[in-house]
Chains A and B, each alone.
Chain A
Amino acid sequence: MCPQSAIPEVPPLVGLADEPPAWPWLVGTGAGLLAWGLIYSQLVPASNWAADLLPLAPGSRMAEAARFFLYDAPKVLLLLTLVVFGMGVVRSFFSPERTRAMLAGRREGVGNVLAASLGVVTPFCSCSAVPLFIGFVSAGVPLGVTFSFLIAAPMVNEIALGLLFALVGWQVALLYLGVGLGVAISAGWVIGRLHLEHWLEAWVRDLRTGAAALPPVALTVADRVRAGLEAMRDIVGRVWPWMLAGIAAGALIHGFVPTGALASIMGAESWWSVPAAVAVGIPMYSNAAGIVPVVEALLGKGAALGTVLAFMMAVTALSLPEMIILRKVLTLRLIAVFVGVVGIGIVAVGYLFNALPL
């Protein structure tokens, strides 16, 4: 999977001696995509072949679960690889510093919408949530606008959207994008209206540093393709255990839970299912790669869409480890408000979609 090796040596173009030519990278990307398509088209026969090799009685529950796993695991892995590569290229056009410059001094409202949208495409890792938070707030990005970014970034990301699109369907992926942005925008707006700046940790409140002037970086096509490959190696390398665990859980649900069994506990009729799904989702730490295969399986067994979406949003947007990291800059009271406001937004989304005749 390394296009570099397939690229022939080419003499540098006159006048562009220090800029690598773009075409080998474009050709390499094209060849990679072609190979991807070929492998993907062989998934069904290959997984059936592998499932038949297993010493399991055909039609038994375990055989069903194994068949599901053997098909889903390579499929999700392939889709994840493609989505992460594409998003890595897209993200090379954005940076937290540039996003901050776009958000600094924005009024609430417009600022919240912009922040949530940029949260989807700006490279973000929860390990740098604290520098990002301080960097935003100290450079004049309003608190509520900063929160819109911080809510959208982990919740509405390429992995969630790409996998929902691939496993559940484009309608649900689009819905997730819409309501995810909606929750991030409105929760950030509410937090902004509450004027809780005095609930930041004191040292953060007093920090007024402004933004560093970074030298401009001109990225070439080669740099962007490389950024995609690097994202692929980094993210796929990091999330694959979650993904396999999620698919295994999904496969067990698929094979062992009778169809419709979840309708009574996770269906639209039981009013408590949505808040319960959110409450269960908060302490669960996983990422979208692990949760989407479970979502797919739950939907297949009669769980209501609103309940399942609420569960997924609670797992991705309200994670305990991130709150522990943010505790360095936020007081407990502010964290509680953050969880409360986002949680209420997610519950509202759950009820809304359970009420809709979909």
Chain B
Amino acid sequence: MKDVKVLGSGCKRCEQTAAMLEQEAARLGVTIRLEKVTDYAAIAAWGIASTPGIVVDGKVVHAGGLPKLDAIAGWLG
């Protein structure tokens, strides 16, 4: 069980990122708990400067723009 957070204030790319994470997790057979963090203060607390950001198990792995699929596989695998 991976704890995954998408940091972003509901922008289009944040939605896309969340969808990509869910699809990739399903493809890999990894169960994840996906949480969307939309509060600006909560996003800022993770120390990123661009959204969408991705946090996996309490660690920031990505910030700004859509992630690459093979990178997602690396984070979830």
A residues with a Cβ closer than 8 A to B are 95-97, 99-100, 123, 127-128, 130-132, 134-136, 138-139, 203, 207, 209-215, 223, 328-329
Contacts and interface: CB of A to CB of B under 8 A. Distances in A.
Contacts of B8: 131
Query: Which among B9, B11, B48, B63 has the highest number of chain A CB atoms within 10 Å?
Result: B48
Contacts of B47: 135, 138-139, 209-212
A131 B62 contact: no
In this complex, the interface size class of chain B, counting residues with CB under 8 Å from chain A, is: 20 to 34
Nearest to A98: B49
A95 B63 contact: yes
Contacts of B48: 97, 131, 135, 212, 214
30 contacts: A96-B49, A96-B50, A97-B48, A97-B49, A99-B49, A100-B49, A123-B64, A123-B65, A128-B11, A128-B50, A128-B51, A130-B9, A130-B40, A131-B50, A131-B51, A132-B49, A134-B44, A135-B50, A207-B45, A209-B47, A210-B47, A211-B49, A212-B46, A212-B47, A212-B48, A212-B60, A213-B60, A214-B61, A215-B61, A328-B40
B40 A134 contact: yes
Contacts of B64: 95-97, 123, 128
Nearest to B55: A212
A132 B50 contact: yes
A250 to B, nearest CB: 30
- Nearest 3 CB-CB pairings of A with B: A135-B49, A212-B47, A96-B50
Given A207-B41, A209-B45, A95 B60 contact: no
B40 A97 contact: no
B49 A131 contact: yes
B44 A207 contact: yes
A63 B19 CA distance: 49
Contacts of A210: 47
A97 B63 CA distance: 8
Interface in B3-49: 7-9, 11, 40-41, 43-49
A97 B9 CA distance: 18
Query: Which among A95, A123, A136, A212 has the highest number of chain B CB atoms within 10 Å?
Result: A212
B50 A95 contact: yes
Given A97-B49, A131-B51, 5 more contacts: A96-B50, A97-B64, A134-B43, A138-B44, A212-B47
A223 B7 CA distance: 23
A136 B49 CA distance: 7
Nearest to A329: B40
Contact of B50 (A123, A223, A328): A123
Nearest to A91: B65
B11 to A, nearest CB: 5
Query: Which among A97, A100, A131, A132 has the highest number of chain B CB atoms within 10 Å?
Result: A131
Nearest to A141: B49
B21 to A, nearest CB: 17
Contacts of A138: 44, 47
